[in-house]
Amino acid sequence: MSAQKIIITLDGWSSCGKSTLAKALARALGYVFVDSGAMYRAITLFFIRNQVNIADPVAVEKALEAIQLQFIFNPARGASDILLNGENVEALIREMTVASRVSEVAALARVRQFAVQQQQRLGKEKGIVMDGRDIGTVVFPHAELKIFMTADKDIRVQRRLKELQAANPSITADLVRENLEQRDHLDATRSESPLRQAEDARVLDNSNLSPAQQFEIAMAWAQEAIDQANG
């Protein structure tokens, strides 16, 4: 009999490396990686392109009805790209124009409900690793392993700056810090499923950890959870 698969959730602050770790875990375990942040970014891109008034519930609902999201494996990256209505927007959703708007769009109750429904559908078969802000608290409250990631703010700013400078060399640390602080505030204070640590989550502070070190810790937790599920 094949081993029972589990659901692994990674929540935490922006630029803590959630997606990097989630992808590595999924690859090692042969699980599917679902980037929930990419979903919110793709929705935000659609809203920007179509000048959707986020203060108008009717306009928001109409926009969501016109959105189809899919993930497709990209062998060149060894990871999944997100498609917005059939268009690969993986690169576009990482730009600052989207980053500066994503938290306010993701704070909308109807947008979160729409995304959560999509995420829960993807998780029905288990064997997935999903990262985000409310995955262990709202999307999969009964996940077998919940990880809450955090890191020192200065370190997060430097990580994000390095990531963005590859595409935009003129970006400044001050602009990145302002964006991070704005996102942190919106993520933690929104009324609909705010960012918070699940009571049964294991905390991973990776301020002073290399990617290999944090992977080793998380992989040990995953193996322990898988063993328990199959015990």
Host H or E run for residue 130: strand 128-132
> Can you give the residue ranges of every domain in the chain?
7-220
> What's the whole-number average pLDDT of the chain?
92
User: How close are the terminal C-alpha atoms of the chain, in Å?
Assistant: 13
Specify the range with the lowest mean pLDDT, choosing from 120-124, 130-134, 150-154: 120-124
Among residues 72, 20, 25, 68, the alpha carbon closest in space to that of 46 is found at 68
The answer regarding whether domain 7-220 maps to CATH 3.40.50.300 reads yes
Tens digit of each residue's pLDDT (9 = 90 or more) over 168-218: 888 999 999 998 999 899 888 988 788 899 999 999 999 999 999 999 999
SS3 7: strand
* CA nearest neighbour of 112 among 39, 208, 51: 39
> For 92-109, how does the pLDDT look when each residue is reduced to its tens digit (9 = 90+)?
999 989 989 998 999 899
> At 1, is the pLDDT very low, low, confident or very high (cuts 50, 70, 90)?
low
